[in-house]
Amino acid sequence: MDRLIESAKLHSDAFEIYKLDESRNTIEFEDGKLKDIESTIHAGVALRIIKDRRAGFAYTKNVSNNEALVLNAVDTIKGGVEAPYDFPHTKSVPTLNTYDAAIEDVTNTTIVDECRRINALMTSKVNGQINIDAGTSISGIKIRNSSGANLSTRTSYYAITISILYPESATGIERSLEFKKFEEVDDSFLNNLIDLYNRSEREINTAGGRMKILFMPEAMYTLIWRLQNAVSGESLYHGQSPLAGKLNTDIFSKQLSIIDNPIDDSRPGARAFDDEGVPCKELVIVDKGTLTNYYYDLFYAAKMKAKPNGRGFKTLRWNDDRISVKPVPTLTSLSIEPGATGFEQLIGSMQRGIIVCGALGAHSGNIPNGDFSIGLSPGLYVEGGQIVGRIKDAMIAGNIYSIMNRVIDIEDSLHPAYTGYYPAVLFDDINVATKS
């Protein structure tokens, strides 16, 4: 890396070197059979340079060809991309517990055996198809820049997702677990999933209308996506956020507090600094219903004359190769503060309503404005405080700035799900459209 630094100094006013070394093992079980095992390695170097307040960017997986990397970055400066920021002078960050060496000893055989154990336990208790996705990853990141930052981190990760599909259906219910090392799935976790499936196996028809809706953690990203978009420095800069100028304004129910905390190393994947070398810290986005913070990377913080707050990450929503993308404003460690009510109590409080376990079309609708319209995949129907079956061909629609002001209650536990850790949240008076 020292030779790359010297070359970057010669061709730029400022530079940043981002080095990634990542290995992944993924295992896929479908209907009780091993479908796929895949091992991948992502390694490379990305270079950002600034010359005359213009940005250049290049990346390579050939780490021995430093000169070509620098010249490619220099060549991209001709595009005239503005660089209104300076690379951070980050000297120290907190030491986090992000890596468990036990991950090194986990073999694919170990994970396959665990998937078979889970499948054997569940097939004797349900009629649906059982699918399991599991895998490990080890990631090392190093960042050096011309301002003196010299940072590194190493993380370990094991995750497993278990789903049960309803007969003759492509929909079902699922739950995930995340750890820093391999751990067997507790039987109580599996039995809870089995119980929820069995209570909802019967397909029923019912009239739609306005009713109580319980969003499961696995469906919560439908709502969170809209909030993430609205409080991003990128959306604010482009005039696309309905929350512009609304800091310290009540936007949601006072029961809702939403926090992004990358330095919480009780969860896997914690980060003391972002992918630009800016220190991370806890950021309260919504405090008891009140909007308290926006989030920025270096570029949009500079454009909005705000301080960067450690949210510049190489986001991989549609891209599997982090080294090839530039940082953008990203919330990586979101959670909703849990309430004090058990999951079964939430169901028991629903005289008539639907549990949203999954969403079809979560990306549709006017996301910047907070609108959504989703198919329920599946939606479990509750009557008299009991799950009586599942609804086919049902949809719900609304706007997050309306329904997130109608929170009835919040579950007392957090669960790992897409985009964060969430409890189940019960809302009132949401419109449901059904085929009947």
Give tens-digit pLDDT for 182-204: 999 999 999 999 999 999 999 99
Instruction: Collect all residues with Cβ–Cβ distance below 8 Å to 258 and sequence separation of at least 6.
Output: 224, 227, 284, 285, 286, 334, 335, 336, 337
The rounded distance, in Å, linking the Cα atoms of 263 and 38 is 30
pTM of the predicted protein model: 0.95
Q: What is the mean pLDDT of the segment spanning 297-325?
A: 89
Phi (first) and psi of residue 145, to 5 degrees: -140, 170
Residues 6+ apart with CB under 8 A from 157: 103, 136, 137, 138, 139, 178, 179, 180, 268, 269
| pLDDT one-digit tens code per residue, 123-149 | 999 999 999 999 999 999 999 999 999
Q: Residue 412: CA atoms inside 13 Å, Cβ hemisphere, count?
A: 7
User: Which helix (H) or strand (E) is 373 found in, with range?
Assistant: strand 371-376
**pLDDT at position 319 over 60:** no
Q: What average pLDDT does the segment 279-287 reach?
A: 98
pLDDT at residue number 427 = 98
pLDDT at 321: 80
Confidence of residue 238 (pLDDT cuts 50, 70, 90): very high
Domain residue ranges in the chain: 2-195, 206-436
Report pLDDT for 199. Answer: 96
pLDDT confidence of residue 2? 85
Is 262:273 a contact under the CB 8 Å cutoff? no
Q: Fold for domain 2-195? A: PmbA/TldD fold (3.30.2290)
* DSSP per-residue codes, 289-336: TEE---B--HHHHHHTT----S-EE---SS-S-GGGS--EE---SEEE
| Beta pairing, strands 283-287 & 258-260 | antiparallel
Report the Cα 111 to chain-centroid distance in Å. Answer: 23
Residue 235: left if φ>0, alpha if ψ -120 to 50, beta else—which one?
alpha
For residue 315 the two structure tokens come to: 């986001």
Three-state SS string across 56-101, please? EEEEECCCCCHHHHHHHHHHHHHHCCECCCCCCCCCCCCCCCCCCH
Alpha-carbon gap, residue 209 to 396, rounded angstroms: 10
pLDDT tens digits, 41-99: 989 999 999 999 999 999 998 777 778 999 999 999 999 999 999 999 999 999 999 99
**Using the 8-state DSSP alphabet, how is residue 226 labeled?**
H
Structure tokens at 245: 């100028």
SS3 content of the chain, % helix, strand, coil (to 5): 20, 40, 40
The string of pLDDT tens digits covering residues 258-272 is 999 999 999 999 999
- The distance of Cα 275 from the centroid of its chain, to the nearest Å, equals 16
